Amino acid sequence: MTSNEILMLAVGLFTGAQLMNLMHAVWVSQDARRGAAASQAALKRAAGDHFLNGFRLYRLGVPPVVPAPGDPHPAELLEASVRDFELKLWDASDRIEDAARRDGLL
């Protein structure tokens, strides 16, 4: 082997090593870019899941009662039931008083 052939062999080995080094750097860069994109997609997916899971409380809870336009307000229903209870108490006291008068206790 001549000195030129030995020199060309050394240059070829050196060039091949540099090309392999460059190829590995490109592959690492592509993997990092893909990993960053996958990480960003996972982060967006997790944020979306967190946002949508906030609505689960509303879906699982008891739905609020929305009165129809003609229905009375719940406060009016409560007032009417209290008024009815008061009238029943007065009626019961009148019956007791009438029974006591009949028996001559009053």
Rounded Cα–Cα distance for residues 82 and 76 (Å):
10
48 and 8, same structural domain?
A: yes
Q: What mean pLDDT do residues 55-63 have?
A: 72
Average pLDDT, the chain: 90
| Percent of the chain predicted with pLDDT > 70 | 97
User: For 11-54, what is each residue's pLDDT tens digit?
Assistant: 999 999 999 999 999 999 999 999 999 999 999 999 998 888 88
Domain count within the chain: 2
How far lies 26's CA from each of 12, 23, 29, 37, 65, in Å?
21, 5, 5, 17, 62
The token pair at 5 is: 């052939």
Residues 49 and 96 in one domain: no
Q: Within this chain, do residues 48 and 77 fall inside the same structural domain, yes or no? A: no
Q: Are residues 3 and 32 in the same domain?
A: yes
Same domain, 53 and 89: no
For 93, the domain range is 65-106
Residues 8 and 59 in one domain: yes
Mean pLDDT for 90-97 is: 94
